[in-house]
């Protein structure tokens, strides 16, 4: 397969000012007639004489230019494109007629059928499976779309923009015509048709325009759209308030489908969603589902400006829309819920998922410089590190400065396809700042390590902070340059009070210093006594922190930092260090001792009613087993980690028993169920408390869990109890599993949870269970949600069993990857990514994983998607 390089970018030879599509739907033979107004690109000096259009899996019937058929000699078709020779040097009309087969499309890219509903997914390069086209994001066109179908099968016919005409046709057929006034690239095109129910609402924009809001779902699911609709309205209002961005069409539509490769898609005016991210009812969805739905609805809606109105010049610039939009949705959730808890959730995820990617064979810059398959680059780095870069720029410019920068970005680039440089320049220009050094962050892979050393001079009353940065060695990555690192910090005095920061006689604004070289010293004046350093508050830059802090200071910060985020950050760092030590003792057969001061400090936080419930819940969650593996970094024994972490949890459960029981009793949320942040926080704290109590074998805890599993009336508590029972095991667990299955077997979204829970169990019988699960009639390998809930949960969320010493976990996933790659390469390549950390494990496991990977790579008929990932992983 061919590598594509950013340095080879060339503007398109032709533009398409208008696109008319006439789509006649049929399950196996959908006919698409396109009429394109093609214009030679005026920005280019040389006129091209031939046009090359992208196209895959299409049956070509006819090509006309300016009304005249183009004869065969002028056409060269391959399995990827169609070249038309001797095209006019002036603007011309190109008509093409093709056939595609939605029923056979199991890759879920292009036009496909999902449970009787026609649906499209065009990002990144799916439009070319619908018709021949210049399928690239820098070709923006005005679309008019006519859809025709059999009325009883497809009563609803949708596309982007405004509905301009509908009508009945002979033979129970009908049609609809949609027109989108905003020029857009083909990846934002959407078409949906089928038997769908609809829920409608409306909103008045702040300039007084009425917008109709519609959510389309499978008939019978209308009662589960409430939360999605509320979230949408809140997101629309928030974007007006925070960024001054208003919706621009008369209608905004969302469609929920059950077969979808990712979470959702931001097609202009017609978002398509995985139904798991729309449908919610208290008895079927958990608090985390509610929060995710709210966040993803907002994310896709926010793309209307960051992605759709201003789009990407090429796919290398993907972070321009994704990083910025993730940052915006994070800020939205922070405002809807608790800002510090949201930051904790995001940092926890970033550290465990993105840092792993950035430290392994799949590491790439936020703006990659080459790829084989763009679908492989919808990554944690592009999305989440990309979001961190936006956050860093906001930290440096301040909220108002960042807003001014975005205003200028939209002023300059509305209706254009642009680059990361355009974004960074707009932010800089609006603030009279040169931000070009931040481009390094976009172009270099790997997580920098920030080293910090504090020394104190009693005589001079000065605290000297030496900050320095290093990049880890990464195979295949060039030597990296020092990046600007904004570091938010504080100095705590002897009573825990904040010491005002002063450098060269001036106060340090917002406690922010920027390390702009490899090494720098910052001297803080008028510091009366030796302070405790609170570093990288709010996680002001995506770095690995090596502060070399003493246990005593870390415990002080856990207890008394005025910055809540940093209390948590220090508790995590302490726990991580501690579990690593326990695991190492465990591996050597030595007796390990749990650190009572740490457990006591965590207990104090859990017990502190002045703190938010959700915050206290976050505090009780230890770093995951894979976080510990990443921290150890080599010769990892996953069993030793599992045992160490289990030991610490049990010790916490035992020594904090009284506190946890009391916290559980006094944190009950008000009835009836409400998904709001306050009630969800209470449930989260109770769940953490119960889970630790069960780990410590508390009779109180186990009795409550059993009771809750039987009587809970909402999914959060019902599934929460089932998850704790899965740790306890035994008959109570098996019975609860069976009850859950009986109750929910007709609800695929709930059954996904039942699948995932069993696949993530560390119990040795999990491998056999997974084999049973995939043989269960409720499982389908063609449905991405089901694959994620069984294979995904096992490979990505079950470190001990995926890395089972027998190698059976590796074989199970390798076989699944090979099978799935035969029909859905995107899904297969996501799954095979679970092998990314194989080299950090001890030699026996490494050999077994290497063998499984070799078996995949040996397949002749491998997709470019899986080939790209596996060949990088193998190295």
Residues that bind ligand HT7 (CB under 6 A): 121, 123-124, 261-262, 264-266, 299-300, 303, 322, 378
Residue whose C-alpha is closest to residue 835's, from 857, 820, 819: 857
* Minimum distance from residue 182 beta carbon to ligand HT7 (Å): 17
* Minimum distance from residue 109 beta carbon to ligand HT7 (Å): 7
> Which stretch in 325-333, 355-363, 416-424, 816-824 sits in contact with Zn ion by CB under 5 A?
325-333
Distances (CA, A) of 801 to 351, 524, 580, 639, 855: 22, 50, 19, 9, 20
Q: What's the first-to-final CA gap in the chain, in angstroms?
A: 16
The CB-nearest residue to ligand HT7 is: 262
Q: DSSP class of residue 133?
A: B
The two tokens of residue 150 are: 């059999």
Q: Is 581 exposed, middle or buried (0-12, 13-18, 19+ CB in 10 A)?
A: middle
Distances (CA, A) of 32 to 29, 62, 842: 10, 11, 55
Q: Are 517 and 557 in contact (CB under 8 A)?
A: no
At 685 the three-state DSSP class reads helix
Contacts 24+ apart (CB under 8 A), 224-229: 224/278, 224/279, 224/280, 224/281, 224/284, 224/285, 225/199, 225/278, 225/279, 226/280, 227/280, 227/285, 227/290, 227/293, 227/294, 227/675, 228/254, 228/278, 228/279, 228/280, 228/293, 228/297, 229/199, 229/201
CA distance 730 to 723: 13
Residue closer to Zn ion (CB basis): 306 or 626? 306
* Minimum distance from residue 303 beta carbon to ligand HT7 (Å): 6
Question: In which residue are the tokens 């899996």 written?
Answer: 57
Residue closer to ligand HT7 (CB basis): 376 or 566? 376
Residue closer to ligand HT7 (CB basis): 124 or 362? 124
Residue whose C-alpha is closest to residue 216's, from 200, 228, 192, 198: 198
Residue closer to ligand HT7 (CB basis): 265 or 579? 265
Which H or E run contains 54? strand 51-54
Which one of Zn ion, ligand HT7, none is in contact with 431 (Cβ closer than 5 to 8 A by kind)?
none
Contacts 24+ apart (CB under 8 A), 772-777: 774/816
Which one of Zn ion, ligand HT7, none is in contact with 289 (Cβ closer than 5 to 8 A by kind)?
none
Residue closer to ligand HT7 (CB basis): 687 or 826? 826
Which one of ligand HT7, Zn ion, none is in contact with 798 (Cβ closer than 5 to 8 A by kind)?
none
Residue closer to ligand HT7 (CB basis): 22 or 125? 125
Q: Are 638 and 841 in contact (CB under 8 A)?
A: yes
What are the start-end ranges of the E strands in 85-139?
Answer: 92-100, 110-114, 117-121
Which one of Zn ion, ligand HT7, none is in contact with 261 (Cβ closer than 5 to 8 A by kind)?
ligand HT7
CA distance 299 to 302: 5
SS3 content of the chain, % helix, strand, coil (to 5): 45, 20, 30
The contact mask relative to Zn ion for 305-324 (x = CB under 5 A, - = no) is: -----------------x--
CA distance 639 to 767: 15
DSSP 614-648: HHHHHHHPPPPHHHHHHHH-SSB-HHHHHHHHHHH
Task: Please give the torsion angle defined by the CA atoms of residues 817, 819, 821 and 826, in that order, rounded to the nearest 10 degrees.
Answer: -60
* Minimum distance from residue 320 beta carbon to ligand HT7 (Å): 12
At 431 the three-state DSSP class reads coil
Please identify every residue annotated as catalytic: 300
Query: Which residues contact Zn ion by CB under 5 A?
Result: 322, 325
């Amino acid at each position: 397969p061919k590598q594509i390089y950013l340095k080879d970018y060339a503007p398109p030879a032709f533009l398409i000012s208008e696109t008319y599509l006439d789509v006649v739907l049929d399950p196996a033979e959908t006919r698409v007639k396109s009429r394109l107004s093609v214009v030679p690109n005026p920005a280019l000096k040389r006129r091209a004489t031939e046009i090359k259009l992208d196209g895959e899996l299409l049956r070509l019937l006819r090509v006309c230019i300016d009304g005249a058929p183009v004869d065969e000699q002028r056409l060269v078709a391959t399995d990827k494109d169609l070249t038309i020779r001797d095209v006019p040097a002036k603007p011309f009309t190109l008509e093409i007629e093709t056939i595609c087969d939605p029923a056979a499309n199991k890759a879920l890219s292009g036009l496909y059928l999902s449970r009787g509903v026609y649906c499209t997914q065009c990002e990144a390069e799916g439009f070319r499976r619908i018709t021949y086209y210049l399928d690239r994001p820098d070709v923006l066109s005005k679309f008019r779309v006519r859809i025709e179908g059999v009325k009883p099968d497809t009563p609803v016919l949708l596309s982007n923009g405004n509905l301009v005409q509908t009508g009945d046709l002979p033979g129970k057929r009908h049609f609809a015509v949609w027109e989108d006034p905003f020029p857009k690239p083909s990846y934002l095109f959407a078409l949906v048709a089928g038997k769908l129910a609809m829920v409608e609402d409306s909103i008045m924009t702040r300039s007084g325009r009425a917008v109709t809001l519609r959510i389309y779902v499978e008939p019978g699911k209308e009662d589960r759209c409430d939360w999605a609709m509320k979230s949408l309205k809140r997101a629309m209002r928030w974007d007006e308030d925070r960024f001054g961005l208003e919706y621009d069409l008369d209608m905004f539509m969302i469609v929920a489908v059950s077969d979808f490769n990712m979470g959702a898609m931001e097609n202009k005016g017609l978002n398509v969603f995985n139904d798991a991210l729309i449908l919610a009812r208290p008895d079927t969805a958990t608090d985390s589902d509610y929060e995710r739905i709210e966040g993803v609805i907002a994310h896709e809606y926010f793309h209307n400006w960051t992605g759709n109105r201003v789009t990407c010049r090429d796919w290398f610039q993907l972070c321009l829309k994704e990083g910025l939009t993730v940052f915006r949705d994070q800020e939205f959730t922070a405002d809807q819920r608790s800002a510090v808890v949201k930051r904790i959730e995001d940092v926890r995820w970033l550290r465990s998922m993105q840092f792993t990617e950035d430290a392994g064979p799949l590491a790439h810059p936020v703006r990659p410089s080459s790829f084989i398959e763009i679908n492989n680059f919808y990554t944690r780095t592009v999305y989440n590190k990309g979001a961190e870069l936006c956050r860093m720029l906001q930290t440096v410019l301040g909220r108002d400065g960042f807003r001014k920068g975005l205003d200028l970005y939209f002023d300059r680039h509305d209706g254009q396809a642009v680059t990361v440089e355009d974004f960074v320049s707009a932010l800089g220009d609006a603030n009279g700042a040169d931000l070009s050094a931040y481009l390094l962050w976009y172009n270099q892979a790997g997580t920098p390590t920030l080293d910090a050393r504090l020394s104190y001079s009693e005589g001079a009353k000065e605290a000297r902070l030496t900050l320095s940065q290093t990049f880890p060695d990464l195979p295949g990555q060039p030597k990296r340059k020092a990046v600007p690192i904004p570091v938010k910090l504080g100095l705590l005095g002897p009573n825990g009070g904040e010491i005002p920061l002063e450098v060269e006689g001036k106060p340090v604004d917002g406690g922010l210093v920027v390390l702009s070289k490899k090494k720098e010293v910052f001297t803080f004046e008028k510091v009366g006594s030796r302070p405790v350093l609170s570093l990288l508050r709010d996680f002001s830059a995506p770095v690995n922190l090596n502060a070399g802090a003493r246990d005593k200071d870390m415990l002080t910060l856990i207890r008394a930092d005025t910055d809540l985020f940093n209390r948590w950050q220090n508790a995590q760092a302490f726990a991580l260090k501690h579990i690593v030590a326990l695991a190492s003792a465990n591996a050597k057969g030595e007796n390990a001792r749990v650190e009572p001061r740490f457990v006591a400090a965590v207990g104090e936080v859990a017990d502190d009613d002045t703190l938010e419930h959700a915050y206290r819940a976050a505090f009780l969650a230890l770093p995951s087993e894979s976080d510990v593996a990443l921290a150890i970094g080599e010769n990892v024994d996953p069993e030793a980690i599992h045992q160490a972490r289990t030991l610490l949890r049990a010790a916490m459960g035992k020594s904090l028993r009284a506190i946890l029981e009391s916290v559980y009793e006094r944190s009950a949320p008000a009835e009836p169920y409400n998904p709001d942040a306050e009630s969800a926080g209470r449930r989260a704290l109770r769940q953490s408390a119960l889970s630790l109590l069960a780990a410590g074998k508390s009779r109180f805890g186990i009795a409550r869990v059993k009771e809750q599993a039987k009587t809970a009336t909402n999914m959060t508590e019902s599934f929460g109890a089932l998850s704790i029972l899965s740790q306890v095991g035994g008959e109570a667990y098996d019975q609860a599993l069976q009850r859950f299955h009986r109750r929910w077997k007709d609800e695929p979204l709930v059954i996904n949870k039942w699948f995932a829970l069993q696949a993530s169990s560390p119990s040795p019988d999990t491998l056999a269970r997974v084999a049973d699960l995939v043989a269960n009639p409720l499982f389908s390998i063609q449905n991405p949600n089901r694959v994620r809930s069984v294979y995904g949960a096992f490979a990505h969320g079950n470190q001990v069993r995926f890395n089972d010493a027998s190698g059976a976990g590796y074989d199970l996933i390798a076989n699944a990857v090979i099978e799935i790659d035969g029909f859905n390469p995107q899904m297969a390549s996501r799954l095979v990514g679970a092998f990314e950390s194989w080299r950090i494990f001890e030699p026996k496991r490494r050999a077994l994983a290497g063998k499984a990977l070799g078996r995949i790579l040996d397949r002749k008929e491998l997709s470019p998607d899986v080939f790209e990932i596996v060949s990088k992983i193998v190295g």
